[in-house]
Amino acid sequence: MKIALGADHAGFELKEKVKKYLTKHGYQVEDLGTNNGDSVDYPDYAYKVAKHIAGNQADFGVLVCGSGLGMAMTANKVPGVRAASATLEQEAQLAREHNDANVLAIGARLVKDEQAMKLVDTFLKSSFGHGRHVPRVAKIEAVEREIAREVAKGTRS
C-alpha cells in the first residue's frame, strides 16, 4: 500500500516519525515534504498530497500540521479527496468506515507521538463499511460534480 505523506513546519518532526513507522510496517511512503522545520505554508503540502490521492498515485494520504484542521480543509478542496482530521482513534476509524476517507490529517500540537501512530494505524487498518454509507458518500461526490459544473459554466467562482 502506498501512502502520500506531507507536513508543514509544525508537523515536520511528527511526519518524520510517521514516515519511519509506516516504512517499518511495510508501507511504501512517498514523502512530499516539507523537509525541515523552516516556516512554510500548509496548503502547499496538503495540495501535493491531495493531488496524489485524486490522481491515484497513492492509496491514502497522511497530513501533519499544528492542528490538522488547515491541512484537512485544503485537501478537501480537491475533488475525490475526503480528508478527516482526527485526534481520537474512533474518529480515524469512523472516517474510514462511514465516510470512506482517503486522507488523515493529524495535529502535531494536539496529539503525542504514540497517539499519532495509533491514529495512523487505525485509519489504515479500517475499511469502508459500504451499506447505508454508500449513498451518503455518493452525495459528497455529487456535490463535487455540481460545484465543478458551476465553475465550468461561470456561475460560481
Q: Mean of the pLDDT values across residues 111-122?
A: 98
Count the neighbouring beta carbons within 10 Å of the beta carbon of residue 155: 8
pLDDT for 156 equals: 74
How long a stretch of residues is the chain?
A: 157
Out of 52, 65, 130, 133, the active site residue is: 65
pLDDT for 157 equals: 67
- Annotation marks residue 52 as catalytic: no
pLDDT for 154 equals: 86
Out of 25, 52, 98, 133, the active site residue is: 98
Give the relative orientation of helices 113-125 and 89-99 as an angle to the nearest 10 degrees: 20
Count the neighbouring beta carbons within 10 Å of the beta carbon of residue 141: 13
Encode pLDDT of 13-71 as tens digits.
999 999 999 999 999 999 999 999 999 999 999 999 999 999 999 999 999 999 999 99
CATH class of the domain at 2-129: alpha beta
Residue 137: DSSP 8-state = H
* Residue 33 one-letter amino acid: G
Encode pLDDT of 60-111 as tens digits.
999 999 999 999 999 999 999 999 999 999 999 999 999 999 999 999 999 9
pTM over 0.75: yes
Cα-trace Rg, the chain: 15
- Annotation marks residue 65 as catalytic: yes
pLDDT for 37 equals: 95
Domains of the chain, by residue range, sit at: 2-129
Question: Is the Cα torsion angle 55, 56, 60, 62 positive or negative in sign?
Answer: negative
Reading the block at residue 124, the C-alpha cell is 489504515
Name residue 118's beta-bridge partners.
none
Instruction: Give which of 35, 43, 30, 32 is closest to 9, Cα–Cα.
Output: 35
